[in-house]
Amino acid sequence: MAEGRRDPPHPLLPLPPASKRPCLRPAPRGPGPGPGYGSGLTSHRQRSPESLLDCAAKAVAEKWAFERVEERFERIPEPVQRRIVYWSFPRNEKEICMYSSFQCRVAGEEGPSTATSGVVVVGVGPTTTAGGGGTTTGTTTVGTTGGVGTGDALPFRRGIRLLDTGCVENVLQVGFHLSGTVTEPATTLEPEVTHKVAISFDRCKITSVTCSCGNRDIFYCAHVVALSLYRIRKPEQVKLRLPISETLFQMNRDQLQKLVQYLITAHHTEVLPTAQKLADEILSSNSEINQVHGAPDPTAGASIDDDNCWHLDEDQVREQVKQFLSQGGYYGSGKQINSMFAKVREMLRMRDSNGARMLTLITEQFMADPRLSLWRQQGAGMTDKCRQLWDELGALWVCVVLNPHCKSEEKSSWLMQLKKWSDMDVCPLEDGNYGSELPNITNALPQSNLAQDSLSRPRRTVFSRAVEACNLHWQGSHLQRIISSDYYMSPSYQRDEESLLFNPQGLPLWLDHVPTACARVDALRSHGYSREALRLAVAIINTLRLLQQREMDIYKHQKKGFHSICSCPSPDLLQRGVTTTTNLEGWVGHPLDPIGCLFTTLTETCRVDDDSTMDTGEGEPRRPVYHHVPVWGSHDGGESYLTLALEVTLMGMGQQRIMPEGLYAQEKVCRNEEQIVTKLQELELDNVLVQTLRRQAIQLLEAGPFSGLGEVIHRESVPMHTFAKYLFSALRPHDADLAYKVALRAMRLPVLESSAVSGDMGQPRHGISIVTNRYPRWFTLGHLETQQCELASTMLTAAKGDMLRLRTVLEVIQKNIHSSSLIFKLAQDAFKIATPADSPPDITLLNVALELGLQVMRMTLSTLNWRRREMVRWLVTCATEVGLRALVSILQSWYTLFTPTESTSIVAATVMSHNTILRLSLDYTQREELASCARTLALQCAMKDPQNCALSALTLCEKDHIAFETAYQIVIDAASTGMTYSQLFTIARYMEHRGYPLRSFKLASLAMSHLNLAYNQDTHPAINDVLWACALSHSLGKNELAAIIPLVVKGVHCATVLSDILRRCTMTAPGLAGIPGRRNSGKLMATDKAPLRQLLDATISAYINTTHSRLTHISPRHYGEFIEFLSKARETFLLAQDGHIQFGQFIDNLKQIYKGKKKLMMLVRERFG
């Protein structure tokens, strides 16, 4: 056909660029109308072989643009055109689902191969034939129910409901253009609405969609889905026409004019201006439109030069990513972006070019995130959720550039773009705020210097690995043979020779940097080459097996050699000869997640999926079910992909690796470890898997420096607590001895040890690898200690009732756990397990809990711990449950466990309580033994800390006269040196309450000798004690009152307090306490005689001094209060014989001295003359 320029589509008709067709063409046709001509396509319900026409048409429709077909053949019979047009519409519903929901995974899907062979029907919806050919071959149907399932609100599910309820009508296919109407049923809130839908397609891909609903999303709306599924499921009900230009060829001039005029009449408001413009240009001989032979046809399919890809709204992708990023770390935004990443992987798996295209759009928005420059300026790290998203972005790009069938031009373009992003200042670094210590992705050799300064390391961004992956290729013959054949082996006559390509059994090896090799596996799997990914994964596992065995052999040989040289080699000697840092980078927490990649690749082929399952990205995922699938080409009949998955995961988790630098890198190690353990826990362990588990656990214990569970480990080696907890739980039902051996070995945390050597407790230590001088910054140390505690708790729970195992676990805990709070938690857990509510306590486990509690007491005795009181109370409770001997023991050894205050106020008080006696059901002898220990403790504590323990000691000893007298004497002896008036007053009140008034008076006198109240301390808390002491003295008699008044006069200088004491002493006669042998005169005491005369003089003097002090800085707002104060002073003055004279002289003196305060003195004269 002739070529010409195509005009852009009219803005009211947003159609893609169409192939150009000649306006006129000779009319020869094929032999009459073909299938589908007229009202619809015929449908044959019985299966029959496809015709040669359909076979050819399907192949052409999928691979060739229709314009190329027209160029290649001068004449194309109409039946052939019809079959090409018919088969050009997408046939796989999974592809429609992929573009209308975040995730669509169908059972047994292995990439695009399922799109062109066989029928995959998921759900219970009706299945129709493929059309005029009368065969179902080539049509794939996905879930038609979904009314109440997960993802019910997604466009794909909604589209299915619209289709099933008959809402799709007026469906017409004209060439490569499909149109129809979809009616949304009325609801209680919305009326019925009909939407017009138009779809353009080419080579089995939808290239453009238009819907009047105005949907703005990265996914197709439900109406587009409904129309697309209608065309796939009911092709015989679709009116099929050839491209409109073919129909125009059949018309003469009058018919063409009539068509144009009717079209303009029907849509004159929309197309009349455009029609007139085109008419003017056509009538102008010099117009540009007349220089082009042919005219555009929107129904003729895409041009040869157009990209053949599915319709993807790039603007919406950008907008949604930008919106999600702007929401920061809020819930939902990260989940949505992860769903978009999953969509990219899904597209890659379907070998859809939009995968890389969509990832590019996402990356552009990530790089444009304004927070990047802000974080860089502030020197602050991004949030953990953002870091995870960036990691996934970098891993996806590695996967994209490792596409085994990408063109060199594509890879060059990606490399240029990745370098551009990586060179930007705001591009996040691979390991956070630190430079990378990890080797280059293409370099399998270890780096020589681990201690190099971070400033000298090359700058590695999240895209560095993708840039390096661009240098990898798939052309190696050995690699090609591995991934292309299940039976690739070395010749039998070469198997005795050392080889880098095959193991001794002749199976192929792939000696590559392990994360890089696993990245290849991930790329193969992600691009739909599942079988090839499995083959390479098996080769990698065979390689790791061989390396593990060689490491073990070398370690055993060197260890044996050292023992032959000297019977007891020193740890340092063995360390230098045996252990080296073989693993410079850990596989767990690695940016490429090699272990997770291998596990997922191997288990996917073993997964048993429900045929009605379609994961649309919503709802809680169900636990997967796996079955054994034999390894293709394996000579070992017992080996399956499931056993390989378990084996390699155990090998990777058990790898000894140095803790990486930086907070994020360390958190990533912990997070990835927990993720892998979660995957392992999904496996139902049968006999075959248990044998694999046992074999690998034994190898890890014996593997030397290769293993984190080996006999010797590096001081900064990542602990194995989380991994060992899984191994213990999985192994214990089948091999308890091995389970405990693994868990006990894993309890080590050498980074906290003062010595660098770390081995089995009770076993000879053989050193560790080189120890650095710096103390490592382990930001996740708290989390690691918690995991260590959980492992110990798991062992304690499992060992209940087994005295020997409990003792072994206890010793390991006491040796390796250094946090008092965690040991306390273990003690509480053991106590809870040992004392079930519905059965007798387990005394062995109770003793373990007590031992742990005693260790906590010793650890926290001299340190500050906000939970100390709780710990002390718990220990007493635990000892009570154990029995009398435990209580006696802690009472007798209190000085190593408690402070004196804790011993008397908590421990002894609780032990001697009525509840404890009842709980233990003690007889008299046992009660006396316990009481004697408590009294001895109380006296010892009172001697050591009389200030805080004297009162408690008196309380505990009050039933034993000798002990009580001893405690009282301790108080008396300490009163003059170390005790405060407050403590003495408290003890004095106690003695009075217990019926010892004279002893109470003595203690009160001692307290008064320590007291000093200034003139302005009229609200001092000791005032009540002073008043009580004076009242006590007054009640005892005149002699006692005479003895305490000098102490009061000496220590109290507050006038109001002294006047209050004076008033109280004059109200009643002294000696009302009723002490035997004492006579009470019953007479009131006079203030002008001893002993009250001294108190009166001191009170008057205090008022005079206080008055002068207050007048020095008095303000007018306090004048009224001052006048009232003088009134109280006058009352005291009048108690003296010449009190009125003294008070008058005192007032006159004030007037003379403070005559400058005229207003105040006027108030004084008004009140006092």
Q: What pLDDT sits at residue 452?
A: 44
Average pLDDT over residues 635-658: 89
Q: Which two tokens stand for residue 503?
A: 């193991």
pLDDT-above-90 percentage for the chain? 37
DSSP letter string, 34-48: -TT-SS------S--
Q: Where residue 610 falls among pLDDT bands split at 50, 70, 90?
A: low
Q: Where residue 202 falls among pLDDT bands split at 50, 70, 90?
A: confident
The tally of CA atoms less than 13 A away on the side-chain side of residue 1013 is 27
In angstroms, the CA 357 to CA 1095 distance is: 100
Average pLDDT over residues 657-686: 92
CB 101 within 8 A of CB 219: yes
Average pLDDT over residues 749-773: 48
Residue 442 has pLDDT above 50, yes or no: no
Q: What pLDDT sits at residue 727?
A: 97
Q: How wide is the angle at C-alpha 765 spanned by C-alphas 759 and 766, nearest 5°?
A: 105
Q: 295-309, 440-454, 634-648, 1137-1151 — which is least confidently predicted?
A: 440-454
Q: Which two tokens stand for residue 924?
A: 């008299």
Q: Tens digits of per-residue pLDDT, 315-338? A: 888 888 888 888 765 556 778 888
Average pLDDT over residues 1093-1098: 89
Q: What pLDDT sits at residue 255?
A: 85
Average pLDDT over residues 58-69: 77
Q: 142-146, 770-774, 954-958 — which is least confidently predicted?
A: 770-774
Q: Tens digits of per-residue pLDDT, 97-136? A: 877 776 554 333 444 433 333 333 333 333 333 333 333 3
Question: What's phi and psi for 304, nearest 5 deg?
Answer: -60, -35
In angstroms, the CA 302 to CA 19 distance is: 6
Average pLDDT over residues 483-496: 78
Q: What pLDDT sits at residue 52?
A: 86
Average pLDDT over residues 1021-1027: 92
Q: Which of 848, 825, 824, 845 is nearest to 835 (CA)?
A: 845
Q: Where residue 728 falls among pLDDT bands split at 50, 70, 90?
A: very high
Q: What pLDDT sits at residue 236?
A: 86
Q: Tens digits of per-residue pLDDT, 540-586? A: 999 999 988 888 888 888 877 665 555 554 444 444 334 444 566 88
Q: What pLDDT sits at residue 331?
A: 58
Average pLDDT over residues 246-255: 83
Q: Where residue 726 falls among pLDDT bands split at 50, 70, 90?
A: very high
Residue 10 has pLDDT above 70, yes or no: no
Q: Where residue 28 falls among pLDDT bands split at 50, 70, 90?
A: very low
Residue 459, number of CB atoms within 10 A of its CB: 12
Task: Using alpha carbons, list the distances in angstroms from residue 1168 to 1087, 1147, 1156.
Answer: 24, 8, 18
Task: Using alpha carbons, list the distances in angstroms from residue 532 to 399, 408, 524, 536, 587.
Answer: 15, 21, 7, 6, 22
CB 584 within 8 A of CB 658: yes
Q: Which of 447, 465, 466, 467 is nearest to 457 (CA)?
A: 447
Q: What pLDDT sits at residue 258?
A: 85
In angstroms, the CA 538 to CA 110 distance is: 18
Count of H-run helices and E-run strands, the chain:
47, 11
Task: Using alpha carbons, list the distances in angstroms from residue 174 to 80, 202, 244, 668, 893.
Answer: 15, 13, 7, 55, 97
Q: Where residue 741 falls among pLDDT bands split at 50, 70, 90?
A: very high
pTM over 0.85: no
Q: Tens digits of per-residue pLDDT, 1131-1141? A: 888 888 888 88
Q: Cα-atom radius of gyration of the chain, to the nearest Å?
A: 47
Q: What pLDDT sits at residue 21?
A: 45
Task: Using alpha carbons, list the distances in angstroms from residue 1131 to 244, 1018, 1081.
Answer: 122, 18, 27
Q: What pLDDT sits at residue 145?
A: 39
Beta-strand ranges (E) seen in 680-814 are none
Q: Where residue 635 falls among pLDDT bands split at 50, 70, 90?
A: low
Task: Using alpha carbons, list the distances in angstroms from residue 901 to 862, 865, 905, 947, 1118.
Answer: 13, 15, 6, 9, 47
Task: Using alpha carbons, list the distances in angstroms from residue 1128 to 57, 891, 1093, 1103, 1152.
Answer: 120, 57, 18, 9, 21
In angstroms, the CA 627 to CA 605 distance is: 9
Q: 350-359, 380-389, 519-528, 989-998 — which is least confidently predicted?
A: 380-389
Q: Which two tokens stand for residue 46?
A: 């019985």
Q: What pLDDT sits at residue 620?
A: 59
Question: What's phi and psi for 467, nearest 5 deg?
Answer: -60, -45
Q: Tens digits of per-residue pLDDT, 928-955? A: 999 999 999 999 999 999 999 999 999 9
Q: What pLDDT sits at residue 151?
A: 55
Q: Tens digits of per-residue pLDDT, 385-428? A: 888 889 999 999 999 999 998 888 989 999 999 999 999 988 98
In angstroms, the CA 271 to CA 277 distance is: 10
Residue 1033, number of CB atoms within 10 A of its CB: 28
Mean pLDDT value across the chain: 80
Q: 374-383, 670-679, 787-796, 1046-1055 — which is least confidently predicted?
A: 374-383
Q: What pLDDT sits at residue 24?
A: 35
Residue 676 has pLDDT above 50, yes or no: yes
Q: Which helix (H) or strand (E) holds 969?
A: helix 961-975
In angstroms, the CA 774 to CA 450 distance is: 12
